[in-house]
């Protein structure tokens, strides 16, 4: 198992280097360099040259890339052109919000996706199955930004049950441990923060997780349908095991494998969806930072956000692969 993990980690190195090359040279293609953007309309040509020298922009491009790579490895992506804060500090503020949102969405998607998929598979072509599959089709086709707006309108606006955005009620603060308000609320035993975080997290998590939930439900249904017809399930039934136990103990375990792979694929979807969800629900996360920075041409932050997000995505996929290899020994030795 360790050998497998080491091998997979080794494969990551070229991918991560590729990501850094793409981001670095991509940003180099953008018209106007950082020094010009920093100075704006102010400053003479001499100032510009001095700043370019200070930032190392007068060096050959491969030297600049090497410096960028070394900086990135140390978590130094430069200074935000918009706020003049270090880019990594800005990312550090946004990252926990996005992680908390994505995890909440993932939990929602997996739990509800599995339940719906299994219920539908137990009675194929019944009313439950047909309704679930129509729901799944709509879920897969609904753009996350529209789902978010509708949820806000109904539960925030018309019914007034849940807040219209943000991560906590105005004026509420919490002691930062991880930066995730819900987790920190639990860790520090702060009940009002936990309650407020939950109320603020529900709608964005449902909006973000809806598409993944539908995809997981569809996959769970089709694998369950396959597994339920296999010999070992028939044997379990024949020896008198109750239907509920057959589904939960015998069938579900094997039907879970493709779902695990699917969860890995959903991560990219969730991180992408986070950009839109955070915009709609005014959450100060990494996605919102990314879009603000792109619109403000704040390239140091864009570079940082993209590299960190891609790194997390790649590592999370590795985690899913390892989990998969753990669940299915054929992969480890294949």
Partner 1 sequence: MMASAVLAPSLPRRAGALSWQRLLRSTNLVIGVTVLILVVASAVFAPQVAPYSPIDQAFTDQLKPPSLTHLFGTDEFGRDIFSRVLHGARVALVIGVLADGIAAALGVFLGVISGYMGGRVDALVMRSVDVMLAFPYLLLAMIVVAILGPSLTNAMIAIGIVYTPQFARLVRGAVLAIKEQEFVEAAGAVGAGITRILSRHVLPNIVSPIIVMATLTVGFTIVETAGLSFLGLGATPPTPEWGSMLATGRSFMLTAPWIATFPGLAILVTVVGFNLVGDGLRDLLDPRLRGRH
Give me the residues that bind partner 1 (CB under 8 A), please: 14-16, 18-19, 22-23, 26-27, 29-30, 137-138, 140-146, 149-150, 152-153, 157, 222, 225-226, 267-269, 271-273, 275-276, 279-280, 290-291, 294-295, 297, 299, 302, 305-306, 309-310, 313-314
Report the residue number, 143 or 242, with the smaller CB distance to partner 1.
143
Closest approach of partner 1 to the CB of residue 225, in Å:
7
Closest approach of partner 1 to the CB of residue 59, in Å:
22
Token output for 192: 């009002």
Decide: residue 305, CB within 10 A, 0-12 exposed, 13-18 middle, 19+ buried.
buried
- What secondary structure letter does DSSP report for 74? T
Closest approach of partner 1 to the CB of residue 314, in Å:
5
> Is-contact 273 210, C-beta < 8 A?
no
Report the residue number, 206 or 275, with the smaller CB distance to partner 1.
275
> Is-contact 295 310, C-beta < 8 A?
no
Closest approach of partner 1 to the CB of residue 322, in Å:
17
Closest approach of partner 1 to the CB of residue 160, in Å:
11
Cα–Cα distance for residue pair 46/40, rounded to 1 Å: 14
Report the residue number, 144 or 255, with the smaller CB distance to partner 1.
144
H or E element: which one contains 206?
A: helix 191-227
Report the residue number, 57 or 225, with the smaller CB distance to partner 1.
225
- What secondary structure letter does DSSP report for 31? S
Cα–Cα distance for residue pair 271/288, rounded to 1 Å: 11
Decide: residue 329, CB within 10 A, 0-12 exposed, 13-18 middle, 19+ buried.
exposed
Cα–Cα distance for residue pair 94/292, rounded to 1 Å: 12
Report the residue number, 153 or 230, with the smaller CB distance to partner 1.
153
Closest approach of partner 1 to the CB of residue 1, in Å:
23
Closest approach of partner 1 to the CB of residue 85, in Å:
20
Report the residue number, 294 or 322, with the smaller CB distance to partner 1.
294
> Is-contact 117 212, C-beta < 8 A?
no
Cβ neighbors of 125 (< 8 A, separation 6 or more) are none
Cβ neighbors of 302 (< 8 A, separation 6 or more) are 27, 290, 293, 294
Cα–Cα distance for residue pair 243/135, rounded to 1 Å: 26
Report the residue number, 259 or 276, with the smaller CB distance to partner 1.
276
Closest approach of partner 1 to the CB of residue 23, in Å:
7
Report the residue number, 27 or 48, with the smaller CB distance to partner 1.
27
Decide: residue 79, CB within 10 A, 0-12 exposed, 13-18 middle, 19+ buried.
buried
């Amino acid at each position: 198992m360790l050998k497998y993990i080491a091998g997979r980690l080794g494969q990551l190195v070229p991918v991560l280097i590729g990501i850094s090359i793409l981001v670095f040279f991509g940003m180099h293609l953008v018209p106007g360099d950082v020094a010009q953007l920093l100075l704006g309309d102010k400053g003479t040509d001499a100032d510009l040259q001095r700043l370019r020298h200070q930032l190392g922009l007068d060096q050959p491009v491969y030297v600049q890339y090497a410096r960028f790579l070394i900086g990135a490895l140390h978590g130094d992506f430069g200074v935000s052109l918009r706020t003049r804060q270090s880019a990594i500090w800005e990312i550090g503020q946004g990252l926990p919000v996005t992680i908390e949102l994505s995890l909440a969405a993932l939990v929602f998607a997996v739990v509800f996706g599995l339940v719906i998929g299994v219920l539908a598979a137990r009675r194929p072509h019944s009313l439950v199955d047909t309704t679930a599959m129509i729901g799944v089709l709509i879920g897969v086709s609904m753009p996350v930004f529209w789902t978010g707006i509708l949820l806000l309108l109904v539960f925030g606006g018309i019914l007034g049950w849940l807040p219209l955005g943000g991560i906590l009620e105005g004026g509420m603060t919490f002691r930062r441990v991880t930066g995730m308000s819900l987790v920190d609320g639990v860790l520090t035993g702060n009940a009002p923060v936990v309650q407020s975080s939950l109320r603020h997290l529900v709608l964005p998590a449902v909006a973000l997780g809806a598409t993944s939930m539908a995809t997981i439900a569809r996959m769970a249904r089709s694998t369950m349908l396959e597994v339920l017809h296999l010999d070992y399930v028939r044997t379990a039934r024949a020896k008198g095991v109750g239907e509920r136990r057959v589904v939960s103990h015998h069938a579900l375990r094997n039907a879970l494998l493709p779902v695990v792979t699917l969860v890995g694929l959903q991560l990219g979807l969730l991180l992408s969806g986070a950009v839109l969800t955070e915009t709609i629900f005014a959450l100060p996360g990494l996605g919102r930072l990314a879009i603000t920075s792109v619109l403000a041409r704040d390239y140091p932050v864009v570079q940082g956000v993209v590299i960190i997000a891609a790194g997390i995505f790649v590592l999370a996929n590795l985690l899913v692969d390892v989990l998969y290899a753990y669940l299915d020994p054929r992969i480890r030795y294949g």
